Homo-oligomer: A and B are copies of this chain.
Amino acid sequence: MARWEPDAAGRLREAAMALYAERGYERTTVAEIADRAGVTARTFFRHFADKREVLFAGSEELERRMVEAVLAAPESAGPMDAVAAGVLASGEFFVDRREHSRRRQAVITATPELREREFIKMASLAAAFTDALRKRGVAPEIASLAAETGVAVFRVAFERWVADPQDADITDIMRATLADLSSLTA
């Protein structure tokens, strides 16, 4: 008997995150996640392809927004400013997600399979930034350097944010990290 589940996806995400923290990602099953969320496994699979997708479901959306911001940067913006616009565009995505992001990051750090998945995601983002910069007319070798550097800034800023004891705004941390990069390479 199928019935409507108010915010089943949200409850599944909550349940998964709690179980991953309690017993580890590898030892958690889809059946247990569904059970904890009070839904059937079938409902789980209506929302997520597998237990890994609970953690990575938002990634494509995030990448899409970041790439759009690179493309939408003013024509006068240089390659690094366009990439910076892409990095800063992620800030909005993370609003009210700090606690979730922190728990998610802890699960990923503790699980080699998920760390690898995260590396692949970052490589995908770098490739997407490179494509976007080339569409803006940036030379290939400069495009990939700016893209890889932008991803480095994004990763470092994200880690600073989840670890920040003051709960600082992620966009402020990203701006500070971009400024640190300028000082470092001056």
Contacts and interface: CB of A to CB of B under 8 A. Distances in A.
Contact of A184 (B78, B155, B160): B78
A81 to B, nearest CB: 9
A79 interface: yes
Interface string A115-149: 11001101100000000000000000110111011
A116 B121 CA distance: 11
Interface of A: 78-80, 115-116, 119-120, 122-123, 141-142, 144-146, 148-149, 151-153, 155-156, 159-160, 177, 180-182, 184-186
A165 to B, nearest CB: 13
Nearest to A159: B144
16 contacts: A79-B184, A80-B184, A115-B123, A116-B116, A116-B119, A119-B122, A141-B180, A142-B180, A144-B156, A145-B153, A145-B181, A146-B184, A149-B184, A181-B185, A182-B185, A186-B186
A79 B181 CA distance: 11
B182 A145 contact: no
A141 B122 CA distance: 19
Number of copies: 2
**For chain A, what secondary structure do more than half of its interface residues adopt (helix, strand, loop), or is it mixed?**
helix
B184 A145 contact: yes
Contacts of A122: 119
A156 B185 contact: no
Contacts of A148: 152, 155-156
A115 B122 CA distance: 13
Contacts of A182: 185-186
Given A141-B160, A159-B144, A149 B119 contact: no
Contacts of A119: 116, 119-120, 122-123
A177 B145 CA distance: 8
